């Protein structure tokens, strides 16, 4: 069975939205190497509508030598959206028809490499609380962002996690990999 993974950049105060606004001075080679390893294990990406709209506007126009661009443009992408019904123009992108949890459950049973949720805070949350996320990597930067959307919200269900791996990078980033408790 395929694994579903997610990785989010996070500030110390838990902000995961718009990391480009606060991560620039602490991104280091170790963080880049970890991202490269994740890309090597992934052949399918899940995106929410907002991430799809932002990324589909940017990545097809990115420099041809950008490592993430050479990964994300041709990779198979599935987009979770309740409001979008038009066709998706970005190469290898398809809208998920029906329920996200049912779709991902079926997708996990197919052959292939890892399925990675990229960005897409609402998709990460839904899959985590549905028990479908095999690993959640939080790349915590040594910064307090102060404002922005956080991954966890007041009223979320009690959810126990198990630390699977941890690394502190040369610039003080904490790379924390969690899995569901008991797996």
pLDDT(183) > 60: no
137 contacts: CB under 8 Å, gap ≥ 6: 5, 6, 7, 8, 34, 38, 175, 176, 177, 178
Alpha helices in 83-164 (DSSP H): 100-108, 121-129
Q: 182: helix, coil or strand? A: coil
The CATH number covering residue 54 comes to: 3.40.430.10
Quote the number of domains for the chain.
1
Phi, psi torsion values for 130, nearest 5 degrees: -85, -5
Q: Residue 35 — pLDDT band, cuts 50, 70, 90? A: confident
100 contacts: CB under 8 Å, gap ≥ 6: 80, 123, 126, 127
Stated pTM of the model? 0.93
**Using one digit for the tens of pLDDT, what is the confidence trace for 86-131?**
889 999 999 999 999 999 999 999 999 999 999 899 999 999 999 9
Q: State the residue for tokens 């970005």.
A: 90
**Using one digit for the tens of pLDDT, what is the confidence trace for 50-59?**
999 999 999 9
């Amino acid at each position: 069975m395929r694994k579903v993974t997610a990785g989010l950049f996070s500030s110390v105060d838990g902000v995961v939205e718009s990391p480009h606004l606060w991560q620039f001075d602490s991104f280091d080679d170790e963080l880049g190497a970890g991202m490269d390893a994740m890309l090597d294990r992934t052949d399918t990406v899940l995106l929410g509508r907002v991430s799809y709209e932002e990324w589909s506007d940017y990545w097809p126009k990115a420099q041809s030598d950008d490592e993430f661009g050479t990964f994300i443009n041709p990779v198979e992408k599935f987009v979770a959206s309740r409001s979008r019904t038009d066709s998706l123009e970005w190469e290898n992108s398809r809208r998920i028809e029906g329920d996200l949890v049912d779709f991902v459950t079926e997708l996990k049973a197919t052959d292939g490499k890892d399925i990675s949720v990229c960005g897409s805070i609402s998709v990460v949350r839904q899959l985590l609380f549905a028990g479908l996320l095999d690993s959640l990597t939080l790349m915590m930067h040594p910064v307090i962002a102060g404002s922005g959307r956080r991954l966890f919200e007041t009223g979320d269900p009690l959810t126990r996690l198990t630390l699977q791996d941890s690394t502190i990078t040369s610039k003080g980033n904490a790379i924390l990999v969690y899995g569901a408790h008991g797996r």
